[in-house]
Amino acid sequence: MRGAPRNNTLIYPHPIDLTMIQSPRGTRDFLPDEMERRRFYEGVLRQTAKRAGFREVQTPIFEEAELFVLKSGPNILNELYAFKDKGGRDLALRPEMTAPAIRSFVNSMSNDPKPVKMFYFGQCFRYERPQSGRYREFFQFGAEIVGAATPQTDAEAVATALEMVKALGLKGYRARIGHIGVLRRRLAEAGVPPDRAPEVLQRLDKRLYDEALSLMEAAGASQEGAESAIGVARVSGGIEALDGIAGEEPGYLRQVLGYLAAMGVDPPEIDLGIVRGLDYYTGMVFEIEAPALGAEKQICGGGSYALSELFGGEPVFSTGFAIGFDRALLALEKEGAPFQGERVDAYVVAVSEDMRARAFEVVGMLRRNGVSADVDLADRKMAKAMKHASAVGSRYAVIVGAEEMASGSVTLRDMSSGEQRLVKVEGLPAAILGH
């Protein structure tokens, strides 16, 4: 029958009780107070990114699954929300936005002047075990600098990330910087074949040294080589921690720290054990944590990588980072950072039934003049409408009465002090906005 439900339409045998349906595990609804707070801090991050010369991009929420299979590593793959669409394509909700950003660069930006500096904000999806600070749908604010492989580029990425965390107003945070090249080389020198390195690095990332040691030995590493690799993974401290580490990486990191100092950025601690959860990093790596968050304390992670050649582009070196927006906000909450939500400037109340249309005239005029204004929509009597004005936190009530209107005036009531005065209708916007 034409118009009949197709066989993929969900048909429920009984009416569903909507009160029983919750948001899916690991996801959240953001109610108006929280949403205002989120938009405010998103704005702070956006401004900070723009001030450093980054420009915003937006990529799709889902991508070809292959994009994430290529180089994200086993952690991400196990957590991927992957599915087939009706055309049989393998798709996945994005678990992060670096691979999409680089895909977009390879598709459409590769002829732009380099380096391309882009930032993004949006939700990511990982099938993780939800807990405080760990969600299945979460938000990242990230930035990528594509097409440069200098210590200056790495310094710029770290400086921007730290600047963002500072701009949010977060006080208790700790930044660490390392270089994945050191560990990768140690593993190779110890005799760990390249295809076995990711699993070892994954253990080192979680600081599971004993497990890493057994894995290295099982992969054919000498005990001495394996122990030396673990020794490197434990190197941390001030810049002097780099003394005595062989290779060109320590010199490179010193340069990065030099540029950070030149920009007036507090130096991150050295930590050669930083591995990161994703497989694509090749050079400098860094993390920022907010210890007050406990188990899920990492609020930002990043580093340099070369992803573009995987997507059919020239090898292009890039550096970037992503701030875990939800965690950063949780950390601010833990620090008791005050946030005052926005409220309407004015709530317009009609004194009597015959003044309702006039109240609508006033509210329309206020909005056209840049005043945020609301009006009673529920046929409330004046006393109830005034109560409502107070309940929604309006700064002023504008009381529209027949007598005052006869002389082109209304009563303006300051809701916090209770003061009232007569104001000409045309003077209302200035009276409310204070100019």
Residues lying near ligand HAM in the complex (CB under 6 A): 96, 98, 126, 128, 134-135, 138, 140, 142, 144, 277-278, 298-303, 320-322, 324, 326-327
Q: Measured from the CB of residue 414, what is the shortest distance to ligand HAM in angstroms?
A: 42
Give, in degrees to the nearest 5, the angle at Cα 405 between 404 and 410: 65
The residues, any chain, with a CB within 8 Å of residue 342's CB and separated by 6 or more, are 36, 372
Longest dimension (CA), the chain: 95
Q: How many CB atoms lie within 10 A of CB 216?
A: 28
Q: By Cβ distance, which residue is nearest to ligand HAM? A: 324
Q: Which is nearer to ligand HAM, 297 or 358 (CB)?
A: 297
Closest to ligand HAM by CB, 213 or 300: 300
Report the nearest approach of ligand HAM to the CB of residue 90 (Å): 21
Minimum CB–partner distance for residue 26 and ligand HAM (Å)? 8
In whole angstroms, what is the distance from residue 383 CA to residue 376 CA?
Answer: 12
Smallest distance from the beta carbon of 84 to ligand HAM, in angstroms? 24
Nearer to ligand HAM, 300 or 397 (CB): 300
Nearest residue (CB) to ligand HAM, 106 versus 278: 278
The residue among 56 and 379 lying less far from ligand HAM, judged by its C-beta, is: 56
Q: What's the CA gap between 255 and 399, in Å, rounded?
A: 65
Query: What burial class does residue 20 get, using C-beta atoms within 10 Å of its C-beta: 0-12 exposed, 13-18 middle, 19+ buried?
Result: exposed
Q: What is the 3-state secondary structure (H, E, C) of 169-223?
A: CCCCCEEEEEEHHHHHHHHHHHCCCHHHHHHHHHHHHCCCHHHHHHHHHHCCCCH
Tell me the H-state helices in 246-375.
249-262, 325-334, 356-368
Residue ranges in 79-149 assigned as alpha helix (H): 98-104
CB of 99 to ligand HAM, least distance (A): 8
Closest CB 285 distance from ligand HAM, rounded Å: 9
Rg (CA), the chain: 28
Q: Please, which residue, 252 or 305, has the CB nearer to ligand HAM? A: 305
Segments of 233-330 assigned E as strands: 236-237, 269-271, 281-289, 298-305, 318-324
Between 166 and 367, name the residue whose CB sits nearer to ligand HAM: 166
- Shortest approach of ligand HAM to residue 138 CB, angstroms? 3
Task: Please report how close the Cβ of residue 95 comes to ligand HAM at its closest, in angstroms.
Answer: 7
**Residue among 324 and 429 whose Cβ is closer to ligand HAM:** 324
